[in-house]
Protein backbone atom coordinates (compact mmCIF):
# COMPACT_ATOMS: atom_id res chain seq x y z
CA UNK A 1 0.00 0.00 0.00
CA UNK A 2 1.39 3.43 -0.90
CA UNK A 3 2.05 5.78 1.99
CA UNK A 4 0.44 8.66 0.14
CA UNK A 5 -2.37 8.82 -2.41
CA UNK A 6 -0.96 9.98 -5.72
CA UNK A 7 -2.52 13.44 -6.13
CA UNK A 8 -0.33 16.31 -7.34
CA UNK A 9 0.58 19.07 -4.90
CA UNK A 10 -0.14 22.60 -6.11
CA UNK A 11 -0.16 26.09 -4.64
CA UNK A 12 -3.92 25.78 -4.24
CA UNK A 13 -5.45 24.82 -0.92
CA UNK A 14 -6.81 21.27 -0.91
CA UNK A 15 -10.38 20.50 0.12
CA UNK A 16 -11.10 16.83 0.77
CA UNK A 17 -14.76 15.81 0.67
CA UNK A 18 -15.53 12.44 2.23
CA UNK A 19 -18.74 11.06 0.74
CA UNK A 20 -20.64 11.95 -2.42
CA UNK A 21 -24.22 11.87 -1.25
CA UNK A 22 -26.47 14.92 -1.51
CA UNK A 23 -24.21 17.02 0.74
CA UNK A 24 -20.85 16.02 -0.72
CA UNK A 25 -22.02 16.22 -4.32
CA UNK A 26 -23.64 19.63 -3.89
CA UNK A 27 -20.59 21.02 -2.10
CA UNK A 28 -18.26 19.76 -4.82
CA UNK A 29 -20.38 21.25 -7.61
CA UNK A 30 -20.63 24.64 -5.90
CA UNK A 31 -16.86 24.78 -5.34
CA UNK A 32 -16.28 24.92 -9.09
CA UNK A 33 -13.95 27.81 -10.02
CA UNK A 34 -13.18 28.41 -6.34
CA UNK A 35 -9.40 28.30 -6.80
CA UNK A 36 -9.16 25.20 -4.59
CA UNK A 37 -8.02 21.71 -5.37
CA UNK A 38 -10.99 19.44 -4.65
CA UNK A 39 -10.59 15.75 -3.80
CA UNK A 40 -13.72 13.58 -3.57
CA UNK A 41 -13.40 10.27 -1.73
CA UNK A 42 -16.23 7.76 -1.73
CA UNK A 43 -16.43 3.97 -1.38
CA UNK A 44 -18.57 3.86 -4.56
CA UNK A 45 -17.91 5.39 -7.96
CA UNK A 46 -21.48 6.62 -8.18
CA UNK A 47 -23.92 8.97 -6.45
CA UNK A 48 -27.17 7.31 -5.31
CA UNK A 49 -30.59 8.96 -5.37
CA UNK A 50 -31.82 7.63 -2.05
CA UNK A 51 -35.51 8.71 -2.17
CA UNK A 52 -36.15 6.16 -4.94
CA UNK A 53 -34.43 3.12 -3.43
CA UNK A 54 -37.84 1.65 -2.67
CA UNK A 55 -38.70 1.64 -6.38
CA UNK A 56 -35.62 -0.44 -7.13
CA UNK A 57 -36.66 -2.81 -4.34
CA UNK A 58 -40.13 -3.20 -5.90
CA UNK A 59 -39.01 -3.57 -9.55
CA UNK A 60 -40.22 -0.12 -10.57
CA UNK A 61 -36.82 1.23 -11.60
CA UNK A 62 -33.45 -0.15 -12.57
CA UNK A 63 -30.43 0.62 -10.37
CA UNK A 64 -28.81 2.56 -13.22
CA UNK A 65 -31.78 4.95 -13.24
CA UNK A 66 -30.93 6.27 -9.78
CA UNK A 67 -27.14 5.82 -9.68
CA UNK A 68 -24.92 8.36 -11.44
CA UNK A 69 -21.17 7.94 -12.14
CA UNK A 70 -19.23 10.51 -10.13
CA UNK A 71 -16.49 10.82 -12.76
CA UNK A 72 -19.06 11.67 -15.42
CA UNK A 73 -20.60 14.41 -13.27
CA UNK A 74 -17.20 16.10 -12.78
CA UNK A 75 -15.72 15.52 -16.25
CA UNK A 76 -15.36 19.23 -16.98
CA UNK A 77 -14.22 20.37 -13.55
CA UNK A 78 -10.61 21.52 -13.39
CA UNK A 79 -8.39 20.46 -10.45
CA UNK A 80 -10.91 17.88 -9.25
CA UNK A 81 -9.69 14.43 -8.23
CA UNK A 82 -11.81 11.38 -7.42
CA UNK A 83 -10.64 8.36 -5.47
CA UNK A 84 -12.67 5.25 -4.65
CA UNK A 85 -11.64 4.32 -1.13
CA UNK A 86 -12.73 3.96 2.49
CA UNK A 87 -11.58 6.68 4.89
CA UNK A 88 -10.50 4.89 8.06
CA UNK A 89 -9.09 7.65 10.25
CA UNK A 90 -8.61 11.39 10.62
CA UNK A 91 -5.38 12.70 12.19
CA UNK A 92 -6.29 16.37 12.87
CA UNK A 93 -2.94 17.40 14.36
CA UNK A 94 -1.25 16.46 11.07
CA UNK A 95 -4.08 17.59 8.75
CA UNK A 96 -4.06 14.05 7.42
CA UNK A 97 -6.55 11.31 6.59
CA UNK A 98 -5.87 7.59 6.36
CA UNK A 99 -7.68 5.65 3.63
CA UNK A 100 -7.66 2.18 2.13
CA UNK A 101 -5.50 3.63 -0.68
CA UNK A 102 -3.02 5.46 1.52
CA UNK A 103 -2.71 8.79 3.34
CA UNK A 104 -3.53 12.28 2.13
CA UNK A 105 -2.98 15.79 3.51
CA UNK A 106 -5.75 18.37 3.53
CA UNK A 107 -6.20 22.08 4.14
CA UNK A 108 -9.94 21.67 4.68
CA UNK A 109 -11.71 18.40 5.46
CA UNK A 110 -15.45 18.00 4.97
CA UNK A 111 -17.14 14.91 6.38
CA UNK A 112 -20.26 14.17 4.33
CA UNK A 113 -20.17 10.41 4.67
CA UNK A 114 -23.81 10.14 5.65
CA UNK A 115 -25.61 7.58 7.73
CA UNK A 116 -26.47 3.90 7.77
CA UNK A 117 -29.27 1.82 9.23
CA UNK A 118 -29.69 1.84 13.00
CA UNK A 119 -31.01 -1.35 14.60
CA UNK A 120 -31.09 0.19 18.09
CA UNK A 121 -28.88 -2.55 19.51
CA UNK A 122 -31.21 -5.37 18.41
CA UNK A 123 -28.53 -7.77 17.19
CA UNK A 124 -30.75 -10.61 15.99
CA UNK A 125 -32.84 -8.19 13.96
CA UNK A 126 -29.64 -6.76 12.49
CA UNK A 127 -28.63 -10.27 11.44
CA UNK A 128 -31.88 -11.26 9.73
CA UNK A 129 -33.70 -8.06 8.69
CA UNK A 130 -33.44 -6.45 5.26
CA UNK A 131 -32.32 -2.80 5.38
CA UNK A 132 -32.61 -0.49 2.38
CA UNK A 133 -29.95 2.23 2.67
CA UNK A 134 -28.18 1.70 -0.66
CA UNK A 135 -28.68 0.29 -4.14
CA UNK A 136 -27.14 -3.08 -3.23
CA UNK A 137 -29.53 -3.60 -0.32
CA UNK A 138 -32.50 -2.57 -2.49
CA UNK A 139 -31.60 -5.15 -5.14
CA UNK A 140 -31.08 -7.84 -2.51
CA UNK A 141 -34.50 -7.07 -1.03
CA UNK A 142 -36.16 -7.49 -4.43
CA UNK A 143 -34.40 -10.84 -4.92
CA UNK A 144 -35.55 -11.96 -1.49
CA UNK A 145 -39.20 -11.15 -2.25
CA UNK A 146 -39.13 -12.85 -5.65
CA UNK A 147 -37.36 -15.95 -4.31
CA UNK A 148 -39.90 -16.31 -1.52
CA UNK A 149 -42.71 -16.31 -4.10
CA UNK A 150 -40.89 -18.94 -6.15
CA UNK A 151 -40.45 -21.08 -3.03
CA UNK A 152 -44.11 -20.65 -2.12
CA UNK A 153 -45.08 -22.55 -5.30
CA UNK A 154 -43.38 -25.72 -4.07
CA UNK A 155 -43.90 -25.71 -0.30
CA UNK A 156 -46.73 -26.64 2.03
CA UNK A 157 -49.48 -24.29 3.13
CA UNK A 158 -47.95 -24.00 6.62
CA UNK A 159 -44.59 -22.93 5.20
CA UNK A 160 -46.27 -20.53 2.77
CA UNK A 161 -47.44 -18.26 5.58
CA UNK A 162 -43.93 -17.04 6.42
CA UNK A 163 -43.02 -16.82 2.72
CA UNK A 164 -46.05 -14.68 1.88
CA UNK A 165 -46.00 -12.31 4.87
CA UNK A 166 -43.90 -9.17 4.33
CA UNK A 167 -43.29 -7.00 7.41
CA UNK A 168 -42.14 -3.39 7.05
CA UNK A 169 -40.82 -1.77 10.25
CA UNK A 170 -40.76 2.03 10.38
CA UNK A 171 -43.58 4.41 9.50
CA UNK A 172 -41.48 7.19 7.98
CA UNK A 173 -41.54 8.06 4.26
CA UNK A 174 -39.48 4.98 3.30
CA UNK A 175 -41.74 2.57 5.18
CA UNK A 176 -44.92 4.19 3.90
CA UNK A 177 -43.72 4.29 0.29
CA UNK A 178 -42.48 0.72 0.07
CA UNK A 179 -45.64 -0.57 1.79
CA UNK A 180 -47.78 1.17 -0.82
CA UNK A 181 -45.63 -0.18 -3.66
CA UNK A 182 -45.74 -3.75 -2.30
CA UNK A 183 -49.51 -3.79 -1.86
CA UNK A 184 -49.92 -2.65 -5.46
CA UNK A 185 -47.61 -5.44 -6.63
CA UNK A 186 -49.77 -7.88 -4.68
CA UNK A 187 -52.87 -6.64 -6.51
CA UNK A 188 -51.66 -6.04 -10.05
CA UNK A 189 -48.36 -7.87 -10.64
CA UNK A 190 -48.03 -11.04 -8.58
CA UNK A 191 -51.38 -12.57 -9.67
CA UNK A 192 -50.23 -12.40 -13.31
CA UNK A 193 -46.74 -13.74 -12.58
CA UNK A 194 -47.89 -16.47 -10.20
CA UNK A 195 -51.35 -17.66 -11.34
CA UNK A 196 -50.90 -20.91 -9.36
CA UNK A 197 -50.51 -18.93 -6.13
CA UNK A 198 -53.41 -17.56 -4.13
CA UNK A 199 -52.13 -13.99 -3.83
CA UNK A 200 -54.91 -13.16 -1.37
CA UNK A 201 -52.69 -14.89 1.19
CA UNK A 202 -49.94 -12.30 0.69
CA UNK A 203 -50.00 -9.88 3.64
CA UNK A 204 -48.17 -6.57 3.92
CA UNK A 205 -47.67 -5.32 7.49
CA UNK A 206 -46.45 -1.81 8.37
CA UNK A 207 -45.35 -1.50 12.00
CA UNK A 208 -44.53 1.81 13.70
CA UNK A 209 -43.52 2.19 17.35
CA UNK A 210 -44.90 5.74 17.70
CA UNK A 211 -48.61 6.61 17.69
CA UNK A 212 -48.67 7.77 14.06
CA UNK A 213 -47.08 7.39 10.64
CA UNK A 214 -44.92 10.09 9.03
CA UNK A 215 -44.00 11.63 12.37
CA UNK A 216 -42.07 14.44 10.69
CA UNK A 217 -45.10 15.59 8.70
CA UNK A 218 -48.40 17.21 9.66
CA UNK A 219 -51.03 15.30 11.58
CA UNK A 220 -53.35 15.60 8.58
CA UNK A 221 -50.82 13.95 6.28
CA UNK A 222 -50.19 11.28 8.87
CA UNK A 223 -53.85 10.39 9.19
CA UNK A 224 -54.39 10.49 5.44
CA UNK A 225 -51.44 8.23 4.69
CA UNK A 226 -52.71 5.65 7.18
CA UNK A 227 -56.20 5.80 5.68
CA UNK A 228 -54.80 5.37 2.16
CA UNK A 229 -52.70 2.36 3.16
CA UNK A 230 -55.45 0.63 5.11
CA UNK A 231 -57.92 1.11 2.27
CA UNK A 232 -55.36 -0.45 -0.11
CA UNK A 233 -55.05 -3.47 2.16
CA UNK A 234 -51.90 -2.83 4.23
CA UNK A 235 -52.18 -4.00 7.83
CA UNK A 236 -50.97 -0.90 9.73
CA UNK A 237 -49.95 -1.28 13.38
CA UNK A 238 -49.02 1.93 15.23
CA UNK A 239 -47.85 2.23 18.86
CA UNK A 240 -46.33 -1.19 18.31
CA UNK A 241 -42.64 -2.04 18.70
CA UNK A 242 -40.76 -4.95 17.17
CA UNK A 243 -38.84 -6.74 19.93
CA UNK A 244 -37.15 -9.64 18.14
CA UNK A 245 -36.79 -11.51 14.85
CA UNK A 246 -35.10 -14.83 14.11
CA UNK A 247 -35.57 -14.96 10.35
CA UNK A 248 -38.93 -16.72 10.70
CA UNK A 249 -40.93 -15.13 13.52
CA UNK A 250 -41.41 -11.39 14.20
CA UNK A 251 -42.04 -10.77 17.91
CA UNK A 252 -43.99 -7.62 18.76
CA UNK A 253 -44.05 -5.68 22.00
CA UNK A 254 -47.73 -6.49 22.54
CA UNK A 255 -46.95 -10.24 22.52
CA UNK A 256 -48.22 -10.84 19.00
CA UNK A 257 -46.16 -13.06 16.67
CA UNK A 258 -46.05 -12.76 12.87
CA UNK A 259 -44.56 -15.47 10.69
CA UNK A 260 -42.36 -13.92 7.99
CA UNK A 261 -39.16 -14.54 6.08
CA UNK A 262 -39.05 -10.90 4.96
CA UNK A 263 -38.60 -8.16 7.55
CA UNK A 264 -37.83 -4.81 5.91
CA UNK A 265 -36.13 -2.50 8.41
CA UNK A 266 -36.80 1.19 7.75
CA UNK A 267 -36.93 2.29 11.36
CA UNK A 268 -33.83 4.38 12.06
CA UNK A 269 -30.47 5.72 10.96
CA UNK A 270 -27.13 6.45 12.59
CA UNK A 271 -24.08 8.32 11.41
CA UNK A 272 -21.10 6.56 9.87
CA UNK A 273 -18.23 7.06 12.32
CA UNK A 274 -14.71 7.88 11.17
CA UNK A 275 -12.05 7.37 13.82
CA UNK A 276 -9.99 10.34 14.98
CA UNK A 277 -12.73 12.85 15.76
CA UNK A 278 -12.94 13.60 19.48
CA UNK A 279 -15.65 11.41 21.07
CA UNK A 280 -17.10 14.44 22.90
CA UNK A 281 -18.26 15.78 19.53
CA UNK A 282 -20.64 12.88 18.95
CA UNK A 283 -24.24 12.99 20.05
CA UNK A 284 -27.28 10.73 19.67
CA UNK A 285 -27.23 8.30 16.71
CA UNK A 286 -23.53 9.05 16.07
CA UNK A 287 -24.19 12.55 14.74
CA UNK A 288 -21.35 15.07 15.00
CA UNK A 289 -22.01 18.35 16.80
CA UNK A 290 -21.26 21.35 14.58
CA UNK A 291 -21.60 25.12 14.98
CA UNK A 292 -23.66 27.49 12.82
CA UNK A 293 -21.23 27.21 9.88
CA UNK A 294 -20.98 23.39 10.10
CA UNK A 295 -17.53 23.46 11.67
CA UNK A 296 -16.79 20.72 14.22
CA UNK A 297 -15.98 22.01 17.68
CA UNK A 298 -12.25 22.25 18.51
CA UNK A 299 -11.22 21.96 14.85
CA UNK A 300 -10.47 24.99 12.70
CA UNK A 301 -10.60 23.25 9.33
CA UNK A 302 -12.88 20.19 9.72
CA UNK A 303 -16.58 20.38 8.87
CA UNK A 304 -19.52 17.98 8.83
CA UNK A 305 -22.55 18.15 6.54
CA UNK A 306 -25.89 16.43 6.03
CA UNK A 307 -27.13 13.38 7.91
CA UNK A 308 -23.97 13.06 9.99
CA UNK A 309 -24.09 16.67 11.23
CA UNK A 310 -26.05 17.87 14.26
CA UNK A 311 -26.49 21.65 14.36
CA UNK A 312 -28.51 22.14 17.53
CA UNK A 313 -30.35 25.44 18.01
CA UNK A 314 -33.48 26.77 19.70
CA UNK A 315 -35.76 25.70 16.85
CA UNK A 316 -34.05 22.33 16.35
CA UNK A 317 -32.62 21.26 19.75
CA UNK A 318 -31.90 17.79 18.39
CA UNK A 319 -30.45 19.04 15.13
CA UNK A 320 -32.09 19.51 11.75
CA UNK A 321 -34.08 16.65 10.19
CA UNK A 322 -31.93 14.17 8.28
CA UNK A 323 -33.37 14.90 4.85
CA UNK A 324 -31.88 15.79 1.48
CA UNK A 325 -32.84 19.49 1.58
CA UNK A 326 -30.91 20.10 4.79
CA UNK A 327 -27.81 18.45 3.30
CA UNK A 328 -28.09 20.42 0.05
CA UNK A 329 -28.64 23.78 1.74
CA UNK A 330 -25.80 23.23 4.23
CA UNK A 331 -23.48 22.33 1.37
CA UNK A 332 -24.35 25.47 -0.59
CA UNK A 333 -23.76 27.67 2.46
CA UNK A 334 -20.40 26.05 3.23
CA UNK A 335 -19.31 26.28 -0.42
CA UNK A 336 -19.97 30.02 -0.41
CA UNK A 337 -18.07 30.43 2.87
CA UNK A 338 -15.06 28.52 1.56
CA UNK A 339 -15.05 30.39 -1.75
CA UNK A 340 -15.45 33.84 -0.21
CA UNK A 341 -13.52 33.14 3.03
CA UNK A 342 -16.57 34.17 5.07
CA UNK A 343 -18.46 32.71 8.04
CA UNK A 344 -22.10 33.22 7.16
CA UNK A 345 -24.30 31.10 9.46
CA UNK A 346 -26.52 28.41 8.02
CA UNK A 347 -30.25 29.12 7.99
CA UNK A 348 -32.50 26.26 6.97
CA UNK A 349 -35.40 27.08 4.67
CA UNK A 350 -38.02 24.37 5.00
CA UNK A 351 -39.36 23.75 1.48
CA UNK A 352 -41.82 21.12 2.67
CA UNK A 353 -42.00 17.34 2.72
CA UNK A 354 -43.93 14.66 0.89
CA UNK A 355 -44.52 10.94 0.58
CA UNK A 356 -46.24 8.82 -2.05
CA UNK A 357 -48.48 5.96 -0.99
CA UNK A 358 -49.04 4.42 -4.40
CA UNK A 359 -50.83 5.02 -7.65
CA UNK A 360 -52.60 8.42 -7.62
CA UNK A 361 -51.98 8.81 -3.89
CA UNK A 362 -49.50 11.02 -2.02
CA UNK A 363 -49.39 13.53 0.81
CA UNK A 364 -47.61 16.88 0.57
CA UNK A 365 -46.79 19.37 3.33
CA UNK A 366 -45.70 22.81 2.12
CA UNK A 367 -44.97 25.67 4.54
CA UNK A 368 -48.45 27.17 4.10
CA UNK A 369 -50.62 24.34 2.75
CA UNK A 370 -51.23 20.61 3.09
CA UNK A 371 -52.84 18.52 0.36
CA UNK A 372 -53.13 14.92 -0.73
CA UNK A 373 -54.47 12.63 -3.45
CA UNK A 374 -53.89 12.73 -7.20
CA UNK A 375 -52.52 16.29 -7.42
CA UNK A 376 -50.10 15.59 -4.56
CA UNK A 377 -48.96 12.50 -6.46
CA UNK A 378 -48.26 14.58 -9.57
CA UNK A 379 -46.31 17.11 -7.48
CA UNK A 380 -44.30 14.28 -5.93
CA UNK A 381 -43.39 12.91 -9.37
CA UNK A 382 -42.45 16.35 -10.75
CA UNK A 383 -40.19 17.19 -7.78
CA UNK A 384 -38.39 13.85 -7.95
CA UNK A 385 -37.94 14.00 -11.72
CA UNK A 386 -36.43 17.47 -11.42
CA UNK A 387 -33.97 16.20 -8.82
CA UNK A 388 -32.66 13.35 -10.98
CA UNK A 389 -29.31 13.90 -12.71
CA UNK A 390 -29.14 13.81 -16.49
CA UNK A 391 -31.77 14.16 -19.20
CA UNK A 392 -31.42 10.49 -20.15
CA UNK A 393 -32.19 9.31 -16.60
CA UNK A 394 -35.16 11.66 -16.34
CA UNK A 395 -36.57 10.27 -19.58
CA UNK A 396 -35.99 6.64 -18.59
CA UNK A 397 -37.65 7.11 -15.21
CA UNK A 398 -40.58 8.99 -16.77
CA UNK A 399 -41.09 6.20 -19.35
CA UNK A 400 -41.00 3.56 -16.61
CA UNK A 401 -43.55 5.48 -14.56
CA UNK A 402 -45.87 6.02 -17.54
CA UNK A 403 -45.61 2.35 -18.55
CA UNK A 404 -46.39 1.18 -15.01
CA UNK A 405 -49.31 3.61 -14.81
CA UNK A 406 -50.85 2.48 -18.09
CA UNK A 407 -50.25 -1.27 -17.74
CA UNK A 408 -50.25 -1.83 -13.96
CA UNK A 409 -46.98 -3.66 -14.53
CA UNK A 410 -43.26 -3.47 -13.80
CA UNK A 411 -40.97 -5.28 -16.20
CA UNK A 412 -37.83 -5.46 -14.05
CA UNK A 413 -38.52 -8.57 -11.99
CA UNK A 414 -35.19 -10.29 -12.65
CA UNK A 415 -33.94 -12.84 -10.13
CA UNK A 416 -30.15 -12.94 -10.45
CA UNK A 417 -28.23 -15.50 -8.45
CA UNK A 418 -24.76 -14.71 -7.01
CA UNK A 419 -22.15 -16.07 -9.41
CA UNK A 420 -19.47 -18.38 -8.10
CA UNK A 421 -16.90 -19.91 -10.44
Reported confidence tier of residue 136, pLDDT bands at 50, 70, 90:
very high
Tens of pLDDT, residue by residue over 76-112, are 999 999 999 999 999 999 999 999 999 999 999 999 9
pLDDT of 411 reads 64
Distances in Å between the alpha carbon of 348 and those of 33, 111, 124, 245, 321? 25, 19, 38, 39, 10
Statement: residue 129 has pLDDT above 90:
yes
pLDDT of 223 reads 96
What is the set of domains in the chain, with CATH numbers? Answer: 13-117+269-340 (3.50.50.60), 123-267 (3.50.50.100)
Mean pLDDT along residues 347-366: 93
pLDDT above 90 coverage of the chain, percent? 82
pLDDT of 315 reads 86
Query: Buried b vs exposed e over 332-363: b needs ≥16 C-beta within 10 Å?
Result: bbbbebbeeeeeeebebeeeebbbbbbbebbb
Tens of pLDDT, residue by residue over 140-173, are 999 999 999 999 999 887 778 999 999 999 999 9
Statement: residue 196 has pLDDT above 60:
yes
What is the 3-state secondary structure of the chain? CCCECCCCCCCCEEEEEECCCHHHHHHHHHCCCCCEEEEEEECCCEEECHHHHHHHHCCCCCHHHCEEEHHHHCCCCCCEEEEECCEEEEEHHHCEEEECCEEEECCEEEECCCEEECCCCCHHHHHHCECCCCHHHHHHHHHHHHHHHHHHCCCCHHHHHHHHEEEEECCCHHHHHHHHHHHHHHHHCHHHHCCCCCHHHCEEEEECCCCCCCCCCCHHHHHHHHHHHHHHCCEEECCCCEEEECCCEEEECCCCEEECCEEEECCCEEECCCECCCHHHECHHHCEEECCCCEECCCCCEEECHHHEECCCCCCCCCCCCCHHHHHHHHHHHHHHHHHCCCCCCCCCCCCEEEEEECCEEEEEECCEEEECHHHHHHHHHHHHHHCCCHHHHHHHHHHHHHHHHHCCCCCCCCCCCCCC
What does the mean pLDDT of the chain come to?
93
Mean pLDDT along residues 226-244: 97
Lowest mean pLDDT among 65-74, 83-92, 386-395: 386-395
Tens of pLDDT, residue by residue over 278-331, are 999 999 999 999 999 999 999 999 999 999 999 998 888 889 999 999 999 999
pLDDT of 1 reads 46
pTM of the prediction?
0.92
Tens of pLDDT, residue by residue over 2-24, are 567 889 888 999 999 999 999 99
Reported confidence tier of residue 275, pLDDT bands at 50, 70, 90:
very high
Amino acid sequence: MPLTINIPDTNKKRIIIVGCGFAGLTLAKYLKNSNHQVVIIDKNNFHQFQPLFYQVATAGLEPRDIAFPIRKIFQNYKDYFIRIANVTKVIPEQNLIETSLGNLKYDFLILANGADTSFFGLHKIQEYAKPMKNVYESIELLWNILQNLEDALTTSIDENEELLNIVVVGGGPTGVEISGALIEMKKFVFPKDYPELNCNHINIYLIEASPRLLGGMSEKSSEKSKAFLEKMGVKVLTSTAVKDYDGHIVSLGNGELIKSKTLIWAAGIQGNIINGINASNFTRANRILVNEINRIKDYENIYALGDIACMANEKNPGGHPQVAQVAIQQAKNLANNLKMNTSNPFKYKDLGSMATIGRNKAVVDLPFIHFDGFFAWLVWMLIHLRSIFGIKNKILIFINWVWSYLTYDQSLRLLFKPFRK
